[in-house]
Structure 1
Amino acid sequence: MFRHLLVPVDGSDASIEALGQAVEFAQSIGARITFCPLPAERTASCPEAEAERCTQPADGETTWELLARAEAAARAQGVPCSLAAPGVDAAPIGAAARAHGCDLICVAPRPLVPSSGISEYGTGTVAVDGGGIAVLTCAIDSRPAVAQAIRILLVGQRTLAAHLHGALRAARMARGPDLARQAEYQATCKATTLHEIAGRLSELQKSQHHSMTEALFARLRAHTSAVDAELDELERQHQRAIQMFDDLARLIARGDESAATGGMLEEGLRACAQFTWENMGRKEGVVLPAARRYLSDKDWNVLAEEFAAWSTDKSPRSPTL
């Protein structure tokens, strides 16, 4: 029986689904997990987030986000986990598994890259070389309505993440002594200010994305009570997040440009970011797998239609069943 899983994470939709499956599998067999960050073509930011260059996170920040979300997903399911040490993520997956004493590697299907040197195992995908360690490729839910609804939800998460990374960079640049870096920030971010970013973050906390989440939660509650405690906690966390972002907005609105205030702002933003990554990870590790299991095709069809409409409609709506 497998005792220690290596789970690479890169923030893609497939990786998020595979993470949820790996966490549930580890829970069912009493195994632990080590999460290993992978270089990703898609970072936490994305075109849908309307992110300028200033919102693109540095490599270290992307790794911090990915691992915080993965760790929260595992801990929410009671699965012991650890994070790959800096530098290990650059090693081949098999080598990373051996370095951490893992006996199974759980991966998402990866698209075939020409001349990659990795053997093809299916149409448009490649097999991962585990270097003698067993590899489990997680199956991806192919139902179109499920994929569409979850994709829209994840776009909403990436939008918030992109603005959080932008706010963190803006806070660093605003108080940094390097005038060249400040000039670069002003040139790349155009008219974006900390005040504008803070306002946007507060808006996103109360946006249609939260209405979509409420709709998903309501349908899940109608089908099962298995995750009621987790849904209650996530709703409590959402109210706490609104309060945290409102507190930051008030701090920014004071217009105090002292170094002490700048330090408080960056510290507060980092606390908000950590809180947000953990909230996202719990949704990805508990709620989305439960929704795939308990919701019917009819539920997913309705959710996909509602989410598609809400993503382009700014008028408030109430969740429907």
Structure 2
Amino acid sequence: MYRHLLVPLDGSELATNLVTQSVEFARTLGARITFFTAREDFGASGEGALQRTLAPQDYIDEAAGDAYAILAKAKAAAGQVELRCDTVVRTGARPWELILQVAEERGCDLIFMASHGRRGLQAFVPGSQTQKVLAQARLPVLVATVERNMPAGAARAAIGIILDEHRSIASVLAGLRAAMREARERDTLPDLDFIAALLHYIKSFPEVLHHPKEERFLFSKLAARTRDADEILAVLRHEHEEGGAIVADVEAAVERCRTDRSSLVTLALTVDAFIESQWRHLNTEEEIILPAALEHLTEADWREVEQAFRENGDSRVGGEYDEGFKKRFAKLMNVTAAGDNWQ
């Protein structure tokens, strides 16, 4: 049976569901996963060459793209079930060739990929990346029609978005844990500015975007359909309310470390407790609330939840505001990847 899966990702909504499916498939087999994504060679373009000269930092950000952000969320999904995984980023104009190269280099025995990605139905026409992999691969390729393997319609879409947002939060938590672990191993202060940036994202994204949508739409609709989840919903709402205060405590511990190195122990303990509480919160929502919602919510309910999460349910946190979070997350993951020596 298959022991090592290569899972190519492109950052599309279908790729979010592909991660979910591939992790469950690998866990069932007792296999490991190498998550892979490709990015274009921005430096080889005319725009890239000009930006490298006129705005070097902007060039660095554009060249890095969102590859590490895509892979960070996949790693978070695998980590949730303690599944072994690696990540690979390659730059090139022909992703299908890179997929085959990485599969061979890493000794993968199965390529697990989506039937199509960002280009939708166009990927079914001859010349698509999936078709080229199928035609050229020397190892088995499992084409997962991921859009058919989750609950139909709005429920599938809403759950995909919620899981994607959870994985963003989990990825930042993992970056925070890695920064503190490195500081302990080297017996030195961590990069406090980087930790402050991670905390700012955690505080801003869940508090401003994610939690309000959960409470206003998902939680409220579940409470209206069944009383079985009332107790756990009350706990989750309370955790949302106290979340900002807990982050503020961690931020205060960071600031103390800037002037008092002996405060590092307190910072480490505070960060560890915070991360554990966040993991419990995310796991509770995914293991209890989402299954309960699938059981009790109607298709009409799910359409409202999907619209809220897709459009943010409030103009003040939509559009450019949401794009700002995405760009900030990508930058944080690029720094985290550099620190972890990702490939």
Looking at structure 2, the residues matched to 134 and 267 of structure 1 have their Cα atoms a distance apart, in angstroms, of 46
* Residue of 60, 82, 85 corresponding to 1:82: 85
What are the residue-to-residue correspondences of 1:190-229 with 2, within 5 Å? 201-214=202-215, 215-216=217-218
In the alignment, structure 2 segments of 5+ residues that lack a partner are 41-56, 180-189, 318-343
Deviation, 1:250, is: 1.8
What are the residue-to-residue correspondences of 1:95-114 with 2, within 5 Å? 95-108=101-114, 109-111=116-118
Kept in 2, the 8 Å contact 1:71–1:281? The answer is: no
Looking at structure 2, the residues matched to 233 and 25 of structure 1 have their Cα atoms a distance apart, in angstroms, of 32
In the alignment, what sits opposite 2:304? 302
Spell out, residue by residue over 1:83-120, the C-alpha distance to the aligned partner (whole angstroms, 9 max, x if none). Answer: 14x6779882223223333222111323469xxxxx96
One-letter code of the match for 1:145? A
Kept in 2, the 8 Å contact 1:107–1:135? The answer is: yes
Deviation, 1:157, is: 5.9
Kept in 1, the 8 Å contact 2:192–2:258? The answer is: no
3-state SS in 1 of match to 2:141: strand
Aligned residues: 269
Spell out, residue by residue over 1:188-238, the C-alpha distance to the aligned partner (whole angstroms, 9 max, x if none). Answer: xxxxxx69x966642433334113335546767979x9xxxx999999997
Deviation, 1:18, is: 0.4
Kept in 1, the 8 Å contact 2:77–2:167? The answer is: no
Looking at structure 2, the residues matched to 37 and 12 of structure 1 have their Cα atoms a distance apart, in angstroms, of 14
Kept in 1, the 8 Å contact 2:7–2:35? The answer is: yes
236-245 vs 9-18, which deviates more? 236-245
Looking at structure 2, the residues matched to 53 and 89 of structure 1 have their Cα atoms a distance apart, in angstroms, of 18
Looking at structure 1, the residues matched to 201 and 112 of structure 2 have their Cα atoms a distance apart, in angstroms, of 37
Q: Identity across aligned pairs (percent)?
A: 23
In the alignment, what sits opposite 2:13? 13
Deviation, 1:239, is: 8.5
Kept in 1, the 8 Å contact 2:154–2:303? The answer is: yes
RMSD of aligned residue pairs (Cα, Å): 6.1
Report the TM-score, using the length of structure 2 for normalisation.
0.50
In the alignment, what sits opposite 1:49? none
Kept in 2, the 8 Å contact 1:34–1:81? The answer is: yes
* Residue of 71, 77, 80 corresponding to 1:73: 77
3-state SS in 2 of match to 1:92: helix
Deviation, 1:77, is: 4.0
1:16–1:270 CA distance, 2 compared to 1 (3 A): farther
Which gives a bigger RCO, structure 1 or 2 (Cα 8 Å, sep 6+)?
1
What are the residue-to-residue correspondences of 1:11-160 with 2, within 5 Å? 11-28=11-28, 30-40=29-39, 59=64, 63=68, 66-77=70-81, 80-84=83-87, 92-108=98-114, 109-111=116-118, 121-122=124-125, 125-127=128-130, 128-129=132-133, 131-141=137-147, 145-146=154-155, 149=158, 153=162
3-state SS in 2 of match to 1:102: coil
> In proportion to residue count, which structure has more helix?
2
